[in-house]
Amino acid sequence: MNALWQGLQEYFAWPWMLLVMPLPLLLRWLWPAKPDEEVPALRLPQAVSLSVVPGVSRMRHGVNAGLFIAWLLLCIAAARPQTLGPIQAPPQTGRDLMLAVDISGSMEQQDMRLGGRSVDRLTAAKAVLGDFLERRASDRVGLIVFGQRAYAIAPLTRDRESLRSQLRDVMVGMAGRETAIGDAIGLAIKRLRAQPAEHRVLILLTDGENTAGVLTPAKAAELARAENVRIHTIAFGGDGDTLSMWGISIALPGMQAGIDEASLQQVAELTGGQFFRARDASSLAGIYAEIDRLEPNSSEGQALRPRIEHYWRWLLAASLMAVLAGAFSHWRRRI
């Protein structure tokens, strides 16, 4: 008996609905029809019992049998017969990434080459970030920009096209000319706090040192470590300032780039991340490819076999049987 019930449970979602199948028979047994309540389908000129008219009784029983079969089919449909479909590919789960991009005044320096032309640092960073976002299909990515202040301009989302659109609209100086690295880290911590601890990642790109804001990078790194936020820091920019004249960039090696590499390296080490140094767009692209390796954007979930519903077939059969029984009953009364 247990084996039979287990078999029914494998094929039906609600097998207990099959228990109501005998209900019409039970009602017929409890309240049998009385002879004087039966209405003859044929009106004869002389008093003749319908039971002696050939075929009439058989037709009535045929109608009742059709309605009972329709009831049985309806009960099977209500039990929701199902079969297991083919195994589907495991769902992919990704990281929760926040990108923090420096848009302070120093990011307008044109010491980068992109597509054979000289461009400013922010333009080069946008191009590389666009390619990076294209590869993070299963991640939820958010965007923070910072200068004198830090602003979250895109929440964690899988809408990469919207994120790229937001990134394209960013301009140097929108958040001020100074650099608040610590505040940018603090804002990222707030945005990632509600996410699973193992997926909290911040990628911070800057070409300067902390010159504004309330939090120092070291203090922000301590807060990030307490919140299990892993930070990868990227120091972006040439080794010295450049002088641009008539579209030609001339490096001035006697001047320092002004990047606090030691502080950025400390932030990465405290939070379990990596520090990178990018001197041009090509090396920046390589760094984001390395981050792809360090932060794989998908992990296998549990394999699924979807259940395919078949109740509609039985419901259709029950409807057709009820229509045929009704049509046959109407035809019998017209004879």
Per-residue model confidence as pLDDT tens digits over 2-55? 777 777 777 888 888 888 888 888 887 887 766 544 455 445 454 444 444 455
Distances (CA, A) of 115 to 51, 73, 119, 235, 311: 98, 69, 9, 22, 60
CATH number reported for the structural domain that contains residue 276 in this entry: 3.40.50.410
Domain range for residue 194?
95-297
Portion of the chain with pLDDT greater than 70, in percent: 78
Please check whether residue 121 lies inside any domain of the structure: yes
Residues 138, 282 share a domain:
yes
User: Are residues 262 and 209 in contact, defined by beta-carbon separation less than 8 angstroms?
Assistant: no
Are the C-beta atoms of residues 147 and 173 closer than 8 Å to each other?
A: yes
CB 24 within 8 A of CB 33: no
**One domain for residues 133 and 249:** yes
Residue 46 lies in a domain: no
DSSP secondary structure letter of residue 150: E
Residues 152 and 196 in one domain: yes
Max Cα-Cα span within the chain: 128
Q: Which amino acid is at 19?
A: L
Pair (285, 335) in one structural domain? no
Q: Is 173 left (phi over 0), alpha (psi -120 to 50) or beta?
A: left
Note the pLDDT tens digit of each residue in 73-83.
888 888 888 88
pLDDT (0 to 100) of residue 90 = 54
Q: Is 253 a residue whose pLDDT tops 90?
A: no
pLDDT at 191 exceeding the cut of 80? yes
| Structure-token pair, residue 312 | 């509609």
DSSP state of 198: G
67 contacts 23 by C-beta, under 8 angstroms = no
Q: 273 pLDDT exceeds 90?
A: yes
What pLDDT, on the 0 to 100 scale, is given for residue 230?
93
pLDDT band with cut points at 50, 70 and 90 for residue 239: low
Bridge partners, 142 (sequence order): 98
The whole-number pLDDT of residue 210 equals 93
Do 179 and 261 lie in a common domain?
yes
* Separation between Cα atoms, residue 103 and residue 132, nearest integer Å: 18
By C-alpha distance, which of 231, 217, 237 is closest to 277? 237
pLDDT tens digits, 144-167 = 999 999 999 999 888 888 888 999
Residues 147 and 268 in one domain: yes
Same domain, 134 and 59: no
Q: Rounded CA gap, 99 and 201, in Å? A: 9
Lowest mean pLDDT among 83-87, 187-191, 299-303, 313-317: 299-303
H-helix or E-strand containing 154?
strand 150-157
Domain assignment present for residue 170? The answer is yes
Same domain, 76 and 104: no
- How far apart, in Å, are the Cα atoms of 239 and each of 60, 254, 259, 260? 99, 10, 9, 12
In a domain, 42, yes or no: no
Mean pLDDT, residues 222-242:
85
For residue 47, tell me if it sits in a domain. no
Q: Average of pLDDT values for 172-185?
A: 93
pLDDT at site 97: 87
Answer yes or no: do 120 and 224 share one domain.
yes
Q: Are 281 and 322 found together in one domain?
A: no
The pTM of the full predicted model, rounded to 2 decimals, is 0.60
